[in-house]
Structure 1
Amino acid sequence: MNDFYEKFRNRTSFDEHAEAISAHLDERYTSEELTVFHEIFSPDIHLDVYFVQSEKHNFNILLTAGMSTLAMTVPAAVENPQDYQFTELMLLLPKSVTFGKVTGDNPNDWLIAMLKEVARFPHHYDTWLAIGHTLQATADMEPYAENTDYTGVVVLPSVTFDEEFTSVQAGENLINIYSIFPLYADEMNYKIENGYNALLDKLIEKNAQEIFDDNRPNLLV
């Protein structure tokens, strides 16, 4: 356990990035439209999640604030790796999906937990997340919760928001905001076997929407 804490204690922390995300939202929404699910205990990075409820949209937004506190380990072979080091994740939700004041006692809380698990993954395993990457809920591809059949996610560019929203400049650093799209087990396997472009073709063919749907038809049916 001590090694675990040391792993994060000795890394350069960009605390101003979370402040940049906060300012980014404050420029676009009123305080009444923003709820923050504050993390009480953070063993690694402090990771809050914003819940944006605005009449500007026909959906609500979950957005992480803290994933970009640490730089991800981007392979040197990637062109302009500095452009992919810092990321936050968002999930668009139908207006019908609500949460309590405190996370942990609501049937929809798994969505927040899922976002936070994905956000922590690259820092725990010294890797990175970018468009086209997928991540399983568990090694055995079990669902995220008892009340859902989703077993993983794919990282996608937002088709709802343009670069003005999904690119946040924090000093000299660029923070990318990517969209998370939950997948069923066979969809995950399809992507693993056939690649991101093949999955993307299925998304386009089925006219899959960026807004989360817990009863979404399977892309492979």
Structure 2
Amino acid sequence: MSNQEVSPSGIPIYHHEAKERDIDFAVGDEAAIQRITTHVEQHIGPVTNVFHELVSDRVHLDILLVPPTPRRNYYTLVTCGMSNLPMTVPEGAENFRYAELMLCLPPSWAVTEEAFRKEEHYWPVRMLKTLARLPHDYGTWLYHAHTIPNGDPAQPYARSTKLACMLVELPTIVDDPHAFFTLNMEPGKAVHFFTLIPLYAEEMNLKLTQGTEALLEKLAQAGVNELVQPDRKNVAKKKWFGLF
């Protein structure tokens, strides 16, 4: 982690530089996989599919899939393996060293391996995996209200959307968000489940210029949550300012 900047609203900005290294092959922790799967099934629903990783670097990272139901009419995807290693957290945040990530997809989303060959279908999964590795690759951490652009400058994730950044947030569309958020794996190891909310570049810039609360307020009033909406309205556009 290097070259720290501060945004106009006082938010630290970090630029991460990739370093050349040999691959560090990793295998899954079967006990941890079972605990995380049980936790997801207890709070969200049955895991009917797992997108297994064949070759893993640093952490073995799978994606658990919970299909839509009449009550929860969307797919839920949760990482499983990010918490195998601790993140590098600042002093005072030691309780947040371990994390997993989740997001939700509309019931019409194509979630087959064949469909995932097209970026328009795969990009949410790609970002789950990319961001789950980011703390381990760059010696950093992910936490509530962190935003991560897709490149510098931020580029849309696929041709089918203009969304270009991710916001790390607390889960909302689960029955008991507080209970789901924390899984006590063992003494001294609490795994926290954060959700990803895709943003437009203008929305991330709004946070950097006006502060986190300004962005969160606009997202909340527009009903934006972890359910991915590739063509949703941009709450940072000027035409939205008068509504809030």
The residue correspondences of 1:47-58 to structure 2 (distance < 5 A) are: 47-55=61-69, 56-58=71-73
For 1:64, the aligned partner's letter is T
User: Structure 2: how far apart are the matches of 1:102 and 1:39?
Assistant: 16
User: Does residue 116 of structure 1 match 2:129?
Assistant: yes
SS at match of 1:108: helix
Select the residue among 138, 147, 150 that pairs with 2:160: 147
User: 2-side partners of 1:150 and 1:62: how far apart?
Assistant: 18
Distance in 2 separating the partners of 1:42 and 1:220:
38
The one of 104, 121, 128 aligned to 1:92:
104
- Cα distance in 1 for partners of 2:123, 2:37 equals 23
Query: Structure 1 residues 184, 111: closer, same or farther in 2, change over 3 A?
Result: same
How far does the alpha carbon of each residue in 1:192-214 deviate from its partner, in whole angstroms, 9 at most, with x for none? 22221121121123232432111
Alignment correspondent of 1:101: 113
TM-score, normalisation: structure 2:
0.78
Instruction: Check the 8 A contact 1:18/1:69 in 2, yes or no.
Output: no
Q: Give yes or no for the alignment of 1:212 onto 2:228.
A: yes
When the two chains are superposed, the root-mean-square deviation of aligned CA atoms in Å is 2.3
Q: TM-score, normalised by structure 1?
A: 0.86
Distance 1:143 1:2 in 2: 26
**Residue pair 2:160, 2:230 contacting (<8 A) in 1 also:** no
CA distance in 2, matches of 1:65, 1:211: 19
What are the Cα deviations for residues 59-105 of structure 1, in whole angstroms up to 9, with x where unaligned?
210110111111001101x3xx2321111010012111121135741
Aligned to 1:60: 75
Identity %: 32
More displaced stretch, 60-69 vs 163-172: 163-172
| Structure 1 residue ranges without an equivalent (≥5) | none
Identify the match of residue 46 of structure 1 among 50, 54, 60. Answer: 60
Alignment: residue pair count: 212
How has the CA–CA distance of structure 1 residues 155 and 182 changed in structure 2, closer, same or farther, with 3 Å as cutoff? same
Deviation at 1:14, TM superposition (A): 6.9
| Partner Cα separation in structure 1 for residue 31 and residue 83 of structure 2 | 9
Report whether the alignment pairs 1:170 with 2:182. Answer: no
Quote the Cα distance in structure 2 between the aligned partners of 1:204 and 1:65: 28
Closer, same or farther in 2 for the Cα pair 1:209/1:104, shift >3 Å?
closer
Q: How far apart in 2 are the matches of 1:165 and 1:199? A: 24
What is the CA–CA distance in structure 1 between the aligned matches of 2:146 and 2:104, rounded to whole Å? 18
Residue type of the partner of 1:159?
T
Distance 1:4 1:197, change over 3 A: farther
Partner amino acid, structure 1, of 2:199: L
Show structure 2 runs of 5+ residues with no match.
1-18, 238-244
